[in-house]
Chain A
Amino acid sequence: MSAVILAADGVNVAQNVAFGIIAAIMIFAALNVVTTKNVVHAALWLVVVLSGIAAQYILAAAEFVAISQVLVYIGAVMVLFLFGIMLTRAQIGKEFGLNNKGWALGIPVGLTLFGLLAWVILDAFGDDTLPDRGPAPTVALSDQFLSIYLVPFLAISFVLLAAAIGAIVLARKD
C-alpha cells in the first residue's frame, strides 16, 4: 500500500498530473532534438529529455535508476556529446542543411512505427493500471546485481573498460 493520497476512487491524481506534464515536456523536447537547426540546442534539448526521463523513473518507483540516469546520462554522456560537438566544429548558432535528403521518408516510418506500437500497446495493456508501490529498495537491486546478474555485471565492467580503451585508441592523434 502506498502512502500516496488518492483523490478519487483509486486514481492517483497527482501522479497522473505529474506524469502528464513531464511527458508533454519530454515530447516537446524530443521533437526539438530532432528538428532543431542548432546542434548545441539539440544537445540541450536532449538534456531536457533525459531529465524528464529521470523524473519518470522516480514516478515509476525506480529511484536508483533515476539517480543513475542523471549521473551517467546527463552528467557524463551529455558532456561527452558537447565535447564531441565542439571538437567537430559544429557551427555556433543555426546551421543549415542539418537534415539529409531523404528526411521526408522518416515521417511515415516514424508515424507508422508509433501507430503500430500504440495499437499493440493499447491492445495488450489497454486497461491495466499500475499498482502502487513504494520505492524499490536499492538493496534489492544490488541483490540482483551480485547474484543472478553477476556475470552480466562483470561483463559490463569489461565492456566499459574496453570502451574506454577503445575510445582512447580511436581518438588519439598519432
Chain B
Amino acid sequence: MLAAETVELTSGWFLENAWLTGLIPVIGFAIIIAFGKKLPMKGAEIGLASMAGSLVIAVGAGIQWIQRTNSAEEHSEEAVGLLQAFGRSLPSATEGEAEPFIEPVVKTWVWWQNSGLEFGIGSSVDGFAVLILALVAFIALLVQVFSIDYVRDDRRYTHFFAAITLFAGGMLIMVMAENMVQLILGWEIMGLTSFMLIGHWWEEEANSRAALKAFFTVRVGDVGLLVGTAIIFFGANQWAVDNLDSNGFNIAAIQAWALSGEANTQFLLWGAVALFIACIGKSGQFPLHTWLPDAMAGPTPVSSLLHSSTMVVAGVFLVARIYPVFWEGFNIGTGGLSFIAVIGAITIVIAALLAFVQDDIKKVLAYSTVSQLGYMMLGLGTGAWLPAVFHIVTHAFFKCALFLCAGSVAHSGSHHSFDMKKDMGGLRKKMPVTFWAWIVSTLALTGVFPFAGFWSKDEIIDNVGANGYTFLQWTALGGAALTAMYMTRATYLTFFGEPRGAAAGHGHDDAHAEEHEMEHVSVGAPEPRSLSSAANAGHEAVQHGGEGSASDESHGGHGGSGADDGSDHHDGGGHHDEHAGPHESGKLILVPILILSVGAVLAGFLNPTPLASRFGEGVEFLKKYVEPRPTAVVTEEFLASGPGESVVLVDGVAYAPSVTPAAEGGEEGAKKSGCGFTAPEAGTVCFFPSVSHAEPKFTKILLSLGVVGAAYAVAIAFNVAFYGRRDKRLVGLTERNKALRGGFLFLKNKYYLDALYENVIVHSVAHPIAKAAYWINQKVIDATVNEVGIGTRKTGQWVYDNIDQKIVDGAVNGSGWAASEAGHAMQSTQSGKIGQYGALLFGAATVGAIVLVLVNVS
C-alpha cells in the first residue's frame, strides 16, 4: 500500500571491517603470549601496535559513520522504488523533524547454525558503537603507553601486557556485538582479564583474594545476564523470526521487539530485571559495588583502564544498547520510578559518602567511579540516554587521568605508597605537571564550567529533572556536592599541606630490603602501607612516628583500613631510582596524563547542549551522530505488497506530509507519541524510543554550578582547618561525639555490607549449605552407590554360593558322580568270571532275539 521513498546510505571499508578492532587485540594477545618475552620491549610493542591498529580502524569507522549519517540527509529528496534490504529507513518529511534512521553496518559470519536458529559473530557498527570503540581503543592505547614505564621490571611484565591487550579485545568484541551471544563473549573475556589483572601480583594473598572477590561478585550478576538473555530470547525469538527474519539473540531484533507493542510485558520486565542485575554487578552499583574498591589491588594502569573508564561501563553500555527493553520493561517513558534510576541514585550517594573515609587515594577514586556510574545509571533510568552516554565518554577521560595521576604520584612521589595520610602531602611543588593534570581532571569530575564533566553531568541532572523526577534531581545535585567535597579532601591530602612519610623523602624497609638502602630508614618514619598485611605485622614496632599518621580520626580505623579492605596493593618491583625523594615522573607516564587531561577539558564540547541555543543544533555532535533515531523503519514484507497511496511514516504514525509532530517533548509534558510510546504501524519496526531532551535553562545551570561552588568552598575551608591548621574544635570530633563516631565507623566499615556479604551470605552458603550438600553427598548419594555396590556383591556372593556352587557345580559334579557311580555299578559285570560273561552273553542274545522276533512278527 505504500510507495516509499528510500535512502541510500553510504558505507565504507572501515565500517565494513570494524570487526578488526576486536580481532587485532586478540591476535596481539596470542602473539604476546607466544613470543613476548623474546621481543626487545618484552611484548609491549605488540600491545601498543594492536591498540594503535584498533584505534585507527575505530577512528576510520567513526569518520565513515559521520559520512553515512550525513548521506542520509543529502539523499532524502530522491525517491527510488522498492526497498531492497531489511529495513531501509524512510526519509524525513519535507519539514524534517523526523530524521531517517541510520542503519548500523553489520558484518557477520555464521557462528551457530542449528535447527532454524542461526547467529553469527562479527560486528554491528552504529554511532554509539563506534564512539565506544574509539574511546576504548584510545584509552587503552594511552594506558599501555603509561604502563611501559610504570610496570617496568615487573615480575610478569609480558603477561601484564598480554592480559591488558586481551582485555581491550574483549571489550571491543562486546561493543561491536551484533547479538547477545557475542556480547556475552566479550563480557566474559573482560571478566577473565579483570581477574587476571587484579590478581597480577597474586603472590600476596590479599591481591588474589581481591581478584576472587571481584570475579565472584560480578559472577553473581552474570547469572542475571544469562537468565536475562534467555528470557529475552524466548520472548523475542518468535516475533523476530516472523517479522524480521532474524532471531531472539540479535540485538536489533530485540530492540524492535521491545518497541513493537506486541512484546509480552512479563518477558520484558523480568528480562530487564535480570539484565540489570548483571549491570549492577559489572558496573558496581549498589548492592554489588563492594568489589570495585578492592579491585584497586591491581596495578594502577589496570585500575585506570578497567575499573574506571572501560570495563565498568560495560553495564552502562549494555543498558544503553538494549535500551528499548529497559524502556518498555520499566516503563521509563511514562515517568514512573524505575528500578534503574533508584539503584543509580542510591549508588551515587552511598559511594560518595564512602569516599570521605578512605585513606588510600585509589580507593577514593574507586568510590568516585562507583558514584559516577550511578549517575550514568540514573540518567538511563530516567530516560536521559544521550547524557548518560556522553557521561561515559567524559568520565573515561577525567577518571582515567585521575588514576594515572595517582599512579604517577605513587611511582615518583610517595615510593609506591597510595596512603594519602601517611606518605603524601605537599606534592604540588615537586610534581607540578601531575598536580595540574589532577586539578583539571578534578574540576572536570565535579562539573565545573567549562570542563568536560560540566557538560555531561549537568545534562544528566537536567534531564532527570525535566523528565519529572525532582527528588532524584536533588539527589544527583547532592551527589555533585559530595563529589566536590571528597575530591577536595583527596586533593588537599595529596598535594597540599606538609609532606609526610615517603613524600618527605623517608624511605621504608620492607620485603624488598635488598633493593633499598637502609640509610633511608629513619626512626620516625612510619610504616608505609605498601606492604601486604602479613609483612606489616613484623614492622609494627615503628608506628605513628610523625605527624603524618597522627590523625585521630583514623586512629580506630587504622588497622581497619589496612585489613578490612581485604586487598593491599604493591605497585610492583618497579625500578627504584628515587632515593632522592619525590620528583616528577618520566615522559612515558606524563604524556598520557596530559593527553587525557586535554580530553578532560575538551571532551565536553562533543555535545554542549546549553550552547545549542546560541550556536544552533549542529554543536550537538553526539546527538546527531550517536543517538539512534526514533524513527519507524519499514520492513521488507510490508513494502512488497505493492504500490498504492503515498504516505509518509513519521515515528510509526501515519501523517499527511504537512503535519509532522515534534519529535522532542518539552518539559511541560507535551503529548508523547512515536516510538517507545505507541506501537509502530504494521510493517514497521522501531529501534529506539523517543527519548526527550531537556531544554537547557540558564537558571538550572546556575543552580548546579552554585551547588558545586558552595561545596568547594565548604570543603576547602574544612580541609584547611582540619588537616592544615588542625583546628582544635575539629580534631578528634568523632572521638568525642558518639553520633559522629557511629556514623564514621559505619562509613569506615562500608555500611557493614562486606561483613554482610562475607560473614552472613557467603558463610551461610559455604558452611551450612556446603555441609548439607556434603552430607547429602556422603550419606545419600554415596550411600546409595555404596549400597548398590554392597548389594551387588552380596547378590553375587549368594549367586556364587547357591547357584554356582550348588546348582551348576552340583549339576556338573552330579553328572560326574552319576557317571562314576554308573561305572561302579557296571563294574560288577566285569568280574572276570567266564560264567558270568557267558550268562550275560546269552542273556543279551536272548533278549535281542526276543526283540527281533517281536518286531518282525507284530
Residues on A facing B (Cβ under 8 Å): 100-103, 105-106, 109, 112-113, 116, 119-120, 123
Contact = CB atoms under 8 A, between A and B. Distances in A.
Interface string B808-844: 0000000000000000000000000101100100110
Contact of A109 (B833, B846, B853): B846
B857 interface: yes
B853 A116 contact: yes
Given A109-B842, A109-B843, A116 B850 contact: yes
A113 B839 contact: no
B852 to A, nearest CB: 10
B647 interface: no
Given A109-B842, A113-B842, A113-B846, A120 B835 contact: no
Contacts of A105: 839, 843
Nearest to A113: B846
Which 10 residue pairs across A and B have the least CB separation, nearest first? A100-B835, A105-B839, A113-B846, A109-B843, A112-B846, A109-B842, A102-B836, A116-B849, A116-B850, A102-B835
Nearest to A108: B843
B839 A120 contact: no
Contact of B839 (A102, A116, A119, A123): A102
Interface of B: 833, 835-836, 839, 842-843, 845-846, 849-850, 853, 857
A101 to B, nearest CB: 8
Contacts of B857: 123
Contacts of A102: 833, 835-836, 839
Contact of A106 (B839, B849, B850, B853): B839
Nearest to B835: A100
B849 to A, nearest CB: 6
A116 B846 contact: yes
A8 B284 CA distance: 150
Given A113-B842, A113-B846, A116-B846, 10 more contacts: A100-B835, A102-B835, A102-B839, A105-B843, A112-B850, A113-B849, A116-B850, A119-B853, A120-B853, A123-B857
10 contacts: A101-B835, A102-B833, A102-B836, A103-B835, A105-B843, A112-B850, A113-B846, A113-B849, A116-B846, A116-B850
A106 B841 CA distance: 11
A113 B845 CA distance: 9
B850 to A, nearest CB: 6
A97 to B, nearest CB: 13
B286 to A, nearest CB: 117
A103 B57 CA distance: 126
A106 B833 CA distance: 14
A112 B846 CA distance: 7
Nearest to B853: A120
Nearest to A112: B846
B232 to A, nearest CB: 106
Nearest to A100: B835
Contacts of B839: 102, 105-106, 109
B800 to A, nearest CB: 50
Nearest to B838: A106
A101 B839 CA distance: 12
A82 to B, nearest CB: 22
A103 B846 CA distance: 17
A102 B1 CA distance: 127
A100 B833 contact: yes
A121 to B, nearest CB: 11
Contacts of B835: 100-103
A112 B857 CA distance: 18
Contacts of A116: 846, 849-850, 853
A102 B857 CA distance: 33
A157 to B, nearest CB: 30
Nearest to B857: A123
A120 B843 CA distance: 17
A101 B834 CA distance: 11
Contacts of A113: 842, 845-846, 849
Contacts of A120: 853
A102 B829 CA distance: 12
Contacts of B846: 109, 112-113, 116
B374 to A, nearest CB: 123
Nearest to B843: A109
A155 to B, nearest CB: 26
Q: Which of A102, A109, A119 has the largest count of B CB atoms less than 10 A from its CB?
A: A109
A108 to B, nearest CB: 8
Nearest to B831: A102
A103 B845 CA distance: 18
Nearest to B839: A105
A103 B842 CA distance: 13
A107 to B, nearest CB: 11
Nearest to B849: A116
Max count, chain A CB within 10 A of own CB: residue among B833, B850, B857: B850
Nearest to B856: A120
A160 B728 CA distance: 160
Q: Which interface residue of B836, B846, B853, B857 has the most chain A CB atoms within 10 A? A: B846
A116 B856 CA distance: 14
Contacts of B836: 102
A101 B853 CA distance: 31
A113 B839 CA distance: 12
- Greatest chain A CB density within 10 A among B833, B839, B853 is at B839
A102 B842 CA distance: 14
Contacts of B833: 100, 102
A100 B857 CA distance: 37
Nearest to A106: B839
Contacts of A106: 839
Contacts of A109: 839, 842-843, 846
A104 to B, nearest CB: 10
A113 B843 CA distance: 8
A116 B853 CA distance: 9
A113 B842 CA distance: 8
A106 B839 CA distance: 6
Contacts of B853: 116, 119-120
A120 B850 CA distance: 10
A112 B842 CA distance: 10
A116 B843 CA distance: 12
Contacts of B849: 113, 116
A112 to B, nearest CB: 5
A119 B857 CA distance: 11
A105 B147 CA distance: 123
Contacts of B845: 113
A22 to B, nearest CB: 26
B18 to A, nearest CB: 117
A124 B279 CA distance: 120
A18 to B, nearest CB: 31
A123 B853 CA distance: 11
B836 to A, nearest CB: 6
B24 to A, nearest CB: 114
Contacts of B843: 105, 109
Nearest to A123: B857
A105 B842 CA distance: 11
Nearest to B834: A100
